[in-house]
Each structure stands twice: as C-alpha cells, then as structure tokens.
C-alpha cells in the first residue's frame, strides 16, 4: 500500500516536470537534507517578495513546492517539479501582461476582433518569448517532507527589451497581428506594465 501511494504521487508530479530546465540541486546541501518537522512554511512562501530592489535591480518572484517521499529519485523529481512551478508563477505574471496588450490595442484602435485576439495569443504562446530566459532559482528549503523553491526574474531593461522584440517578431509573422507589432503605444504600455509587475 505504501509503495502504491508513492507510485501515484510520483506519477502525479511527473506531468509537471516536462520541459523544466536548470540545475536540479543548486542551492541545496550536498547531503540529502534532513526532515524538518516544523509545520512553518518558508518565509518566501509566507511573505512573498515582490519588486524590492536588490543590488540595483528589481525582480519578479515566484515559489513552487512538491512533496518528497523515500528515495533519491523522489527527491530529484520533487526538486525539478518545485523549480518548474516556481518558474511558472513568474511566467504567468509576464503572460498576463502580454495578454493585456491586445486589450489595450483594441481600446486605442476602437474595435475588438476575436480572430485577431486568437491570433495574438497563439503567436505569443508559440514564440520564444514564453521561454522567458533569465529566470533563476535563488533558494530551496526542505520542510516537513516538502521541497520549496524560490525563483526570480530580473526586470532589467535588457530582459524587458528581449521580451518586447521577441513578441514583435512573432506577431509580425502573421497578417492578422502585423499591425499590432507596429503599434508603438502597445509596446510602450507593455514596457511600463512589466516594470511595475509584481
């Protein structure tokens, strides 16, 4: 029964691991961490960091978690999954800002076209922008059988410009969205939204 529960838990986590990048154990002790019986969650989960400047930069943060069971393979899977979920939190913030770009474009253009909206979202979803390079895992904690990961993404001018240029390129490849790629007010608004994102 115990082995079956473990198998089910691993299978449930496995679906979230596909496509996850990064070093699995960076930031953890070389030895497998001991169980912390405290029920208290890590501070970065209880009090999420937002965009407080650090060494002259501001960041978007995200956290993820996954349970650890009995062996090294389970620990590796939990670390990978927690990292992926932390990255996804940041990606969701950026994707929401990108999605709002069409709404803003519609308001200044004076119309809403469902087909253009669909093309816009599809173009962004399939572009390299959604890979969001530059996300890093800055901390992991092991508490009460659960791995917690904390990720951050720098809102540097370089990273924001890379997102905007990638989005413009993906949109200009489709007739339905080419006009959006050339609408500078959209990108000025997106730049501002990303700079203010938390």
> Is the model's pLDDT at 19 over the cut of 50?
no
Number of domains in the chain: 1
Mean pLDDT, the chain, whole residue set? 74
Tally DSSP H helices, then E strands, for the chain.
Answer: 7, 3
What pLDDT, on the 0 to 100 scale, is given for residue 7?
37
Least confident of 27-36, 135-144, 156-165: 27-36
**pLDDT tens, residue by residue, 61-77:** 999 999 887 676 688 88
> Which residues neighbour 177 within 8 Å (Cβ) at sequence distance 6 or greater?
116, 119, 120, 123, 171
- Percentage of residues in the chain having pLDDT higher than 70: 70
pTM beyond 0.75: the answer is no
Where in the sequence is the domain holding 103, given as residue range(s)?
2-196
pLDDT in tens, 172-197: 877 778 888 888 888 888 888 888 87
Mean pLDDT of 23-42: 49
- Asked whether the predicted pLDDT for residue 82 surpasses 80, the reply is yes
State the Cα angle at 134 between 181 and 19, rounded to 5°. Answer: 90
Kindly report the number of other CB atoms within 10 A of residue 51's CB atom. 15
Rounded CA-CA distance 58/51 in Å is 5
Residue 31 pLDDT class (50, 70, 90 cuts): very low
**Phi/psi at 24 (nearest 5 deg)?**
-65, -40
Q: List, in sequence order, every beta strand (DSSP E) within the chain.
A: 59-67, 136-143, 146-154
pLDDT confidence bin for 129, thresholds 50/70/90? low
First to last CA, the chain: 43
- CA 144 centroid distance within chain: 25
């Amino acid at each position: 029964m115990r082995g079956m529960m473990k198998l089910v838990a691993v299978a449930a986590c496995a679906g979230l691991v596909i496509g996850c990048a990064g070093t699995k154990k960076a930031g953890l002790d070389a030895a497998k961490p001991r169980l912390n019986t405290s029920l208290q969650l890590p501070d970065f989960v209880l009090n999420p960091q937002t965009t407080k400047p650090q060494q002259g930069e501001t960041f978007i943060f995200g956290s993820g978690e996954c349970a650890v069971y009995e062996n090294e393979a389970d620990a590796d899977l939990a670390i990978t999954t927690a990292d992926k979920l932390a990255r996804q939190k940041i990606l969701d913030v950026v994707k929401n800002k990108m999605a709002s770009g069409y709404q803003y474009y519609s308001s200044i253009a004076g119309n809403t076209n469902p087909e253009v909206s669909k093309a816009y979202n599809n173009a962004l979803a399939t572009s390299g922008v959604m890979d969001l390079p530059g996300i890093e895992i800055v901390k992991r904690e092991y508490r009460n059988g659960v791995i917690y990961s904390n990720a951050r993404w720098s809102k540097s001018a370089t990273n924001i410009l890379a997102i905007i240029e990638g989005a413009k390129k993906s949109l200009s490849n489709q007739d339905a969205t080419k006009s959006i790629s050339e609408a500078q007010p959209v990108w000025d608004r997106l730049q501002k939204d990303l700079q203010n994102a938390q």
